[in-house]
Amino acid sequence: MKTNFNSLLYNKCKEKNNWLCLGLDIDPDFFNNSISDPIDFLEKFAFEIIDSTIDIVPVYKPNLAFFERYGYKGFKVFEKIVEYIDGRSIVIADAKRGDIGNTCKYYASAMFDEMGCDAITVNPYMGSDSILPFLKNKFKGVFVLCLTSNSSSGELQNDTNDNTPLFLKVAKLVGSLNKNGNLGLVVGATKSDFFDQINKYCNKMPYLIPGVGHQGGDLEESLISSNKNGYGIINVSRSIINSGKGNLKSIRSAALSYTEKIREVVNGRA
């Protein structure tokens, strides 16, 4: 039953028997720094990636930075990508927005109402004011940065000046706000040792898990740990879309490789 965003996400993953989120972090400079029209390349290549993988990929996560670098033209491509996917998969806007409530309500309106995204990533540094405006529509999801996979994350997220790490305070806050069933957490695969601690506060919530691939996170351990009390979505970007320097057969092969690994873990153990 489609009761909220988290159920929509779960059902889409079950439908495709896959728990893979493909990040669309498309950098034209990586493929050819002499591309004459990067906007045209961005749109065409994004559509080709989607065509090559949408039968197996339940979730796409276009990263705003790779589009807004081109100003309004980039935003237009971003919007076209959401339209092109057209409900065939879930779209998470990797925007990492975070501000006071009066500002966030317009971020929410932009990403959900105007751009048509299904979900967004949010930075909780300013507290619940930076989360609540995104929660009003229970069919739109919010993934809150909790414990990220980048190397410097511990500078703040592991702070224990009152004996409780900041990331656990975030998990506890998010768990308490999940009244509509449309909240999740971003937890890096390189931090899988902490999943059990986070699970205590976030019952049956989805985790968006980056850090597998280039950052060296453990896919199997991340899925097993996240599925103890909710479900994990493995986010992979560069390791797939940069395969073969843009060769679509290589991209599909890489997506299938991750899919097979995910299915083996989830179908066999979760």
Average pLDDT over residues 12-23: 97
pLDDT at 270: 46
Average pLDDT over residues 18-28: 96
Q: Cβ distance 145 to 123 under 8 Å?
A: yes
Average pLDDT over residues 207-220: 87
Tell me the residue type at 68. E
- Which is higher by pLDDT, 75 or 270? 75
Average pLDDT over residues 43-70: 97
Q: Which two tokens stand for residue 23?
A: 């990040």
pLDDT at 94: 97
pTM reported for the whole predicted model: 0.93
- Which is higher by pLDDT, 153 or 224? 224
Residue 49 reports pLDDT greater than 90: yes
Residue 55 and residue 52: Cα distance in Å, rounded?
A: 8
The single residue of 73, 76, 80, 96 carrying the catalytic annotation is: 96
Average pLDDT over residues 180-191: 93
Average pLDDT score over the chain:
91
Residue 169 and residue 164: Cα distance in Å, rounded?
A: 7
Average pLDDT over residues 103-122: 96
Q: Cβ distance 23 to 213 under 8 Å?
A: no
Q: Please give the CATH topology (third level) of the domain spanning 5-269.
A: TIM Barrel (3.20.20)
Q: Cβ distance 211 to 217 under 8 Å?
A: yes
Residue 35 reports pLDDT greater than 90: no
Q: Kindly report, residue by residue over 144-163, the tens digit of the pLDDT.
A: 988 777 677 666 667 676 78
pLDDT at 13: 96
Residue entry with tokens 């999943």 = 195
Backbone CA torsion sign across 169, 232, 221, 145? negative
Annotated active-site residue 96? The verdict is: yes
Within the chain, where are the H helices? Answer: 5-15, 28-31, 38-53, 65-68, 72-85, 101-108, 154-157, 166-177, 195-199, 219-226, 238-241, 248-269
pLDDT at 153: 63
Which of these, 125, 147, 126, 143, lies nearest to 134 by C-alpha position?
Answer: 143
Share of the chain above pLDDT 90, in %: 69
Q: Cβ distance 218 to 192 under 8 Å?
A: yes
